[in-house]
Amino acid sequence: MTRKLAAEFFGTFWLVFGGCGSAVLAAGFPQLGIAFAGVSLAFGLTVLTMAYAVGGISGGHFNPAVSLGLAVAGRFRWAELIPYWVVQVIGAIAAGAVLYVIASGKPEFAAGGFASNGYGDLSPGHYGLISALVAEVTLTAGFLIVILGSTSKAAPSGFAPLAIGLALTLIHLISIPVTNTSVNPARSTGVALFATTGAIGQLWLFWLAPLAGAAIGALIWTFLLSPGESPSLIGREPQ
């Protein structure tokens, strides 16, 4: 269990540091050509690389919503859910702290939104609460369907991390203007603690919506797309 939790810590750390780091450190420089598309790709690459690196140890969740969805789908033990959530959140906060130390070394640094999520005035496109809620629920549900489908026994072996990483890239391309993209409560928490825009006050939505979406996606897969399927790859017990 210790190895699993360590893998989830490092995987979540990498996701937040790489994804949010690209937004905080690089997206503000137009000459680098990063912008929304680059940040979206960075988030996808973090999941892809860590899924290959440590996915065989912990299942490669790096996200409390993914852990919940896998448990709902019967791919993950409910008894391990809370320990996974704890280390995922700790990993995200650690990444946010390291990123803050680096970013604050720039002259006239101001944390501002610090890659946090939000709706209303805190939404990049000023989308309202309902838009943010529907986007996060829908996209997290879709993310779980991709995860469960790409790791099913019917899927080509060894390609799941690619499908999952590309799905997360697509999700960000869709929803960065709406919520700055969460679909991951740990990711939202890890940077909201360092933001100075009131992101903490909206953090409840970025726990509620991804968890609800993950459960919905898992139920759709389990009872509509692949009823009675046995576990495979993500969520299985490491050998």
185, pLDDT greater than 60? yes
Give residue for tokens 């139920």. Answer: 219
Section 146-165 average pLDDT: 90
pLDDT for the residue numbered 231: 46
The answer to whether the CB of 168 falls within 8 A of the CB of 90 is: no
3-state secondary structure 48-87: HHHHHHHHHHHCCCCCHHHHHHHHHCCCCCHHHHHHHHHH
* Distance separating alpha carbons of residues 85 and 68, to the nearest angstrom: 9
Q: What is the DSSP letter of 119?
A: S
- DSSP category for residue 228: T
Q: Which domains does the chain have, with CATH numbers?
A: 2-225 (1.20.1080.10)
Decide if 205 contacts 183 (C-beta within 8 A).
no
Quick one: CA dihedral 223, 50, 95, 169, positive or negative? negative
pLDDT tens-place string over residues 77-129: 999 999 999 999 999 999 999 999 999 998 988 899 999 999 999 999 999 99
Q: Which of 45, 25, 52 is nearest to 172 (CA)?
A: 45
